[in-house]
Structure 1
Amino acid sequence: MGNRLTLVSHGATAATRAAAFPVDEPLADPAPLPRAGLGRVAVALRGPEVRCAQTATAFGLAARVDPALRDLDFGAWRGRRLDAVAAVDPGAVTHWLTDPDSAPHGGESVAALVDRVGAWLDDRAADPAPVVAVTHPSVVRAAVVAALGAPPAAYWRVDVVPLARVVLRGGPGRWSLRWLTPAAQA
């Protein structure tokens, strides 16, 4: 059977609603959330950002910070809307969206993110206790790509909305995607 890892994308923020590159910001609505869709939780982890802490709290989880669950570093684009960046430097945005090794913003590339999250998955100890990790859409996407052994270019083909849940089963080097649940169905 192996490990059961549920990855939960944090709730909506001003940046997610505005199609902007996030800063460390709070949730737009930190109201309590039902835990029913999370299943049994033996271990709760979260990214270090405020939006992950608030989402974990909204689920009633006493989650431990795991730095590997941090968001993609968007460098100089942090706090800016995607359309505003594209209006000023459309070539940089196009390059970033088509070349997973590029980081025109000076932050982390998509390929580096997929490698980081893949290493985190590979470091998960073989433990049948169910783990829930509250993190970012970027990290959830990267986990799906890494688990499926897909190339980093597949990253943009995975759509992760706020509060979406992904369940992976298995363990290091042998993860499988069990299901992906959009927030509306969670």
Structure 2
Amino acid sequence: MTATSLLLVAHAHTAAIRRAVFGGGAEPLDEGGSRAALALAPASPDGRGLLGRIDVCLSTPAVAGLQTAYALGLQPTLEPALADCDYGRWTGQPLDEVADWEPDAVRSWLTEPDAAPHGGESVSALLHRVGGWLDGQADRGGRIGAVTHPVVIRAVLVRALRLPPTVFWQLDVAPLAVVRLTGRGSRWQLHLTAPAATTS
């Protein structure tokens, strides 16, 4: 059975992400996000850089994901399953403002996986969508890079590690975070490694 190495990369900052706007990855990277992503691009002739060898790069269709992939020196293929959560009528609105207008709705969305008070995707629906995609990668083989949204990486981790949906909001994924998983059949392993310069 062929092993698959899956490297998930959270897209870099946008101005909307810094303001905690729902769907902020639809905007271009801001200056700081672009600089941070370019700083992680491979500088060596072998092109290995932060992610090492990548056989295929997949990306959310959102502009922030595509710009991050290109900044890292990757050639992304669009993957709709890696799209951001559908936030319905909250899309484009800052979380703090929505929480002021609709505190009960926000509270239910953050505590009940099946709740979709915004009219978009619930956490359960996001987990189902992302889980279906993840199941298709396990036997693909090779090294896959996937540039996507922090919320999608949370969903991948919940599904890959078979965690209860209630854990979803306890996983904090920062912009440009890299998560490494190895899949074989239906089993995934999470790899937490030190930077190459600090290993002995």
TM-score, structure 2 length as denominator? 0.86
CA-based RMSD of the aligned residues comes to 1.7
1:11 matched to which residue of 2? 12
Which structure has the larger Rg? 2
2:73 matched to which residue of 1? 60
Q: Cα distance, 1:178 vs. partner?
A: 1.2
Q: Cα distance, 1:173 vs. partner?
A: 1.8
Task: Render the CA deviation track for 1:44-89: whole Å, top value 9, x for unaligned.
Answer: 1100010111000100101100111100011111111111001011
Structure 1 vs Structure 2: percent identity of aligned residues? 49
Superposed, 1:5-154 pairs within 5 Å as: 5-23=6-24, 24-29=26-31, 30-31=34-35, 32=38, 33-35=40-42, 36-124=49-137, 126-154=139-167
Moved more, 101-110 or 165-174: 165-174
TM-score, structure 1 length as denominator? 0.92
Q: Cα distance, 1:3 vs. partner?
A: 0.8
Q: Could you list the runs of 5+ residues in structure 1 that have no partner in the other structure?
A: 182-186
2:45 matched to which residue of 1? none
**8 Å Cα contact 2:23-2:85 kept in structure 1:** no
**8 Å Cα contact 1:121-1:172 kept in structure 2:** no
Task: Render the CA deviation track for 1:151-171: whole Å, top value 9, x for unaligned.
Answer: 111110110010001001013
